[in-house]
Amino acid sequence: MKKAIIIMTFITFLLGIILLVSYIKADASQTTIANKLIRFHVIANSDIPEDQALKLKVKDEVLAYVYPKLKDSKSLDESRKILEENTGVIKEIAKKVIKEKGYNYSVDVTLSHENFPVKSYGNITLPEGNYEAYRIIIGSGEGKNWWCVMFPPLCFTDITRGEVAYKETENEMKKVLNEKEYEIVNNNWENKNSENKLIFKFKIVETIKKFIE
């Protein structure tokens, strides 16, 4: 009995070490990936259908404006500078759309670092963590958000099609991520189970992180 307890204790300790190492590696990978991206989020006032539809209209008009400015950006710094220089205009575009639709919601536009849960966009799944994000917050900002990646310019591979362009998304991500980093975020959209497996893996890391903290 005593021997069995010792063995079980050793196995538990070993598993703990393995999980801790996995967490440290995953956290380091997330930080490296996050440092190469700018996310774009449009957050609705609420989840009622009208507010969600308004969110999408704001998104469409803003992307139509920034598309020619950002689509050929070669670096994160260049994209950040363009966004900062155009924030005033972008805010006015959002306010104009809201007013035209008969609402008087306020608009807040920010470029900041925020914490996000695991999120999938087409064949890309980003792990939970802190990312630089350009956010348009409509009204109280309590509704669901629409999101994409603004650098590399994944948002702009989609607007000409009206849907997520998988091959273009893959090509754009490979321009800024190395092979190992891309393997981490690639959920292989042709395999229906792969995205769920990737999300499950990230969720385990999230749980370990919360336990440690």
Specify the pLDDT at position 2: 61
Mean per-residue pLDDT, 24-39: 72
Tell me, yes or no, whether 11 lies in a domain: no
Tell me, yes or no, whether 22 lies in a domain: no
User: What is the pTM (predicted TM-score) of this model?
Assistant: 0.73
Specify the pLDDT at position 158: 52
pLDDT tens digits for range 147-173: 989 999 888 755 544 455 677 888 888
Say whether pLDDT at 25 is over 50. no
Mean per-residue pLDDT, 136-150: 95
* Position 28 confidence tier, pLDDT thresholds 50, 70, 90: very low
Tell me, yes or no, whether 170 lies in a domain: yes
Specify the pLDDT at position 125: 86
CB contact set of 169 (below 8 Å; sequence gap of 6+): 121, 122, 123, 124, 154, 157
Spatial contact of 182 and 126, defined as CB atoms under 8 Å apart: no
Q: What is d(CA 15, CA 12) in angstroms, rounded to the nearest whole number?
A: 5
Mean per-residue pLDDT, 170-199: 71
Tell me, yes or no, whether 203 lies in a domain: yes
Specify the pLDDT at position 27: 42
CB contact set of 196 (below 8 Å; sequence gap of 6+): none
Spatial contact of 144 and 56, defined as CB atoms under 8 Å apart: no
- The percent of residues above 90 in pLDDT, for the chain, comes to 46
Tell me, yes or no, whether 24 lies in a domain: no
Say whether pLDDT at 64 is over 60. yes
Tell me, yes or no, whether 4 lies in a domain: no
Tell me, yes or no, whether 13 lies in a domain: no
Mean per-residue pLDDT, 47-61: 97
Residues in the chain: 213
Q: What is d(CA 165, CA 148) in angstroms, rounded to the nearest whole number?
A: 12
Specify the pLDDT at position 192: 42
Helix (H) or strand (E) holding 106: none
Tell me, yes or no, whether 21 lies in a domain: no
20-34, 46-60, 137-151: range with lowest mean pLDDT: 20-34
* Position 23 confidence tier, pLDDT thresholds 50, 70, 90: very low
Q: Which two tokens stand for residue 127?
A: 């792990």
Structural domains of the chain, count: 1
Structural domain of residue 86, as residue ranges?
A: 31-212
pLDDT tens digits for range 119-137: 887 788 888 889 999 999 9
Q: What is d(CA 37, CA 149) in angstroms, rounded to the nearest whole number?
A: 7
* Position 207 confidence tier, pLDDT thresholds 50, 70, 90: low
